[in-house]
């Protein structure tokens, strides 16, 4: 089974794809609660608990993590946020290696989307488009909605984790 992760400073998404390419598990860890998380160590401990739970339930043979952003882009995440994200990504990578005894592989988000056949039209919101695509093709992908009818923010991270895991499954099938 393939474990895909989308690590972010607000929520980390997890998805597991079985050998048939089916989504069998999808979850997230919300890391926005400032009262609960004093620093990145608290965030990583929460992520670690989810990874340990996954280890107990599933026989993971491959771990794939979305690459963290490599450069600053005006209007997007600040340099400080990118630095924190890189730290959390690195710590999560080490936890995956420690828990599963598997060296994680890193997947560029654009490459993962391309492998999954997701094309983002110019001017469209990438996160929204990816979520819509996953909802359209994956019956096992569940989202929760707010009382106003919009999906909850962590759904983007779950969808990205699915794309990471699914792209790894597709890449594996292509090389066989």
Q: Mean per-residue pLDDT for 5-25? A: 92
**Phi, psi angles (nearest 5°) of residue 30:** -80, 120
Segment 20-31 mean pLDDT = 91
pLDDT per residue over 100-156, tens digit each? Answer: 999 999 998 888 988 888 888 888 888 888 888 888 888 888 888 888 888 888 888
Going by their DSSP bridges, the two strands 2-6 and 23-30 should be labelled as unpaired
What DSSP element (H or E) covers 170? helix 155-175
The angle at the Cα of 175, spanning 170 to 176, to the nearest 5 degrees, equals 100
On the question of pLDDT at 72 being above 60, the answer is no
Q: Which domains does the chain have, with CATH numbers?
A: 2-175 (3.30.420.10)
Percent of the chain's residues with pLDDT above 70: 88
Write down the pLDDT at residue 78.
67
| Distance in Å from the first CA to the final CA of the chain | 16
Tell me which H or E stretch contains 88: helix 79-100
């Amino acid at each position: 089974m393939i474990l895909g992760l989308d690590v972010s400073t607000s929520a980390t998404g997890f998805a597991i794809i079985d050998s048939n390419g089916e989504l069998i598990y999808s979850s997230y860890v919300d890391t926005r609660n400032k009262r609960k998380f004093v620093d990145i160590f608290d965030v990583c401990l929460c992520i670690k608990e989810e990874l340990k739970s996954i280890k107990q339930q599933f026989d993971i043979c491959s771990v794939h993590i979305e690459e963290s952003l490599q450069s600053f882009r005006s209007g997007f995440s600040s340099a400080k946020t990118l630095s924190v994200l890189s730290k959390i990504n690195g710590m999560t990578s080490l936890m995956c290696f420690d828990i599963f005894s598997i060296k994680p592989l890193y997947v560029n988000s654009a490459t993962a989307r391309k492998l999954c056949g997701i094309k983002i039209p110019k001017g469209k919101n990438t996160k929204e488009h990816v979520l819509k695509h996953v909802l359209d093709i994956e019956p096992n992908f569940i989202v929760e909605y707010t009382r106003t009818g919009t999906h909850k923010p962590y759904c983007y991270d779950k969808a990205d984790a699915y794309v990471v895991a699914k792209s790894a499954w597709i890449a594996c099938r292509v090389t066989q």
